[in-house]
Amino acid sequence: MRVVAGRRPAQDRDGSAAARAGARFTLALAAGKEAGTASRMLGTGGGTCFPGTVARRIDPRVLQKAAAASGARKVIVSGSNGKTTTCRMLAALAQASGLLVTQNRSGSNLLHGVTSAAVQGTGLRGRMAAQLLLLEVDEATVRLVAPEVRPEALLVTNLFRDQLDRFGELYSVAGKLAAAISALPASATVVLNGDDPLVASLAPEAAARRLYYGIRAGGSGGQVPEHAADTVRCVRCQHPLSYRAVHLSHLGDYQCPGCGHGRPPLDVAVTAIRPSPGAGAEITVDTRAGTFPLRLPAAGMHEVYNAAAALAGAMTLSPGRPLQPATARDALAGLRPAFGRLEQIQAGSRRVVLAFVKNPASYNATLREVLRQPGRKHVLAAHSNTSVDGEDFAWLWDVDLERLVPRLASLTASGTRAEEVALRFKYGGADPALMRVQPGRADALDAALAATPPGERLHIFAGYTPMRELRGIMQRRGWAPSWEEQ
Residue 124 in contact with another protein, rule: CB under 8 A: no
Closest separation in Å from C-beta 80 to another protein = 13
Per-residue binding string, another protein, 330-359, x by CB under 8 A, is ------------------------------
Question: Strands 290-296 and 281-287: what pairing?
Answer: antiparallel
DSSP summary character for residue 243: E
Measured from the CB atom, is 198 or 266 closer to another protein? 198
Picking from 134, 129, 100, the residue whose alpha carbon sits closest to that of residue 117 is 134
Q: Which of residues 240-259 bind another protein (CB under 8 A)?
A: 240
What is the distance between the alpha carbons of residues 170 and 259, in angstroms, rounded to a whole number? 22
What is the distance between the alpha carbons of residues 313 and 300, in angstroms, rounded to a whole number? 20
Residue 385 in contact with another protein, rule: CB under 8 A: yes
Measured from the CB atom, is 136 or 152 closer to another protein? 136
What is the distance between the alpha carbons of residues 341 and 36, in angstroms, rounded to a whole number? 26
Residue 201 in contact with another protein, rule: CB under 8 A: no
Residue pair 340/466 in contact (Cβ under 8 Å)? The answer is no
Per-residue binding string, another protein, 53-82, x by CB under 8 A, is x-----------------------------
Question: Which position among 16, 37, 172, 318 is part of the footprint of another protein (CB under 8 A)?
Answer: 172
Closest separation in Å from C-beta 240 to another protein = 8
Picking from 460, 444, 431, 303, the residue whose alpha carbon sits closest to that of residue 370 is 460
Locate the DSSP E strands across 104-205: 132-136, 153-156, 189-193
Picking from 255, 56, 33, the residue whose alpha carbon sits closest to that of residue 145 is 56
Residue 397 in contact with another protein, rule: CB under 8 A: yes
What is the distance between the alpha carbons of residues 444 and 452, in angstroms, rounded to a whole number? 12
Picking from 37, 40, 33, the residue whose alpha carbon sits closest to that of residue 482 is 40
What is the distance between the alpha carbons of residues 85 and 341, in angstroms, rounded to a whole number? 9
Measured from the CB atom, is 103 or 316 closer to another protein? 103
Residue 167 in contact with another protein, rule: CB under 8 A: yes
Closest separation in Å from C-beta 426 to another protein = 5
Residue 473 in contact with another protein, rule: CB under 8 A: no
Q: How many residues touch another protein (CB under 8 A)? A: 67
Question: Which position among 34, 165, 431, 443 is part of the footprint of another protein (CB under 8 A)?
Answer: 165
Q: How many CA atoms lie within 13 A of 329 on its CB side?
A: 13
Strand partners, 457: 351
Residue 32 in contact with another protein, rule: CB under 8 A: no
Picking from 206, 76, 55, 73, the residue whose alpha carbon sits closest to that of residue 144 is 76
Question: Which position among 107, 151, 197, 313 is part of the footprint of another protein (CB under 8 A)?
Answer: 107
Q: Which stretch binds another protein (CB under 8 A): 103-111, 127-135, 263-271, 376-384?
A: 103-111
Residue type at 377 in one-letter notation: K
Q: Which residues contribute to the site for another protein (CB under 8 A)?
A: 39, 44-50, 52-53, 105-113, 138, 140-141, 161, 163-172, 175, 227, 232-233, 238, 240, 385-388, 390-398, 417, 419-420, 422-424, 426-429, 432, 435, 437, 464, 468
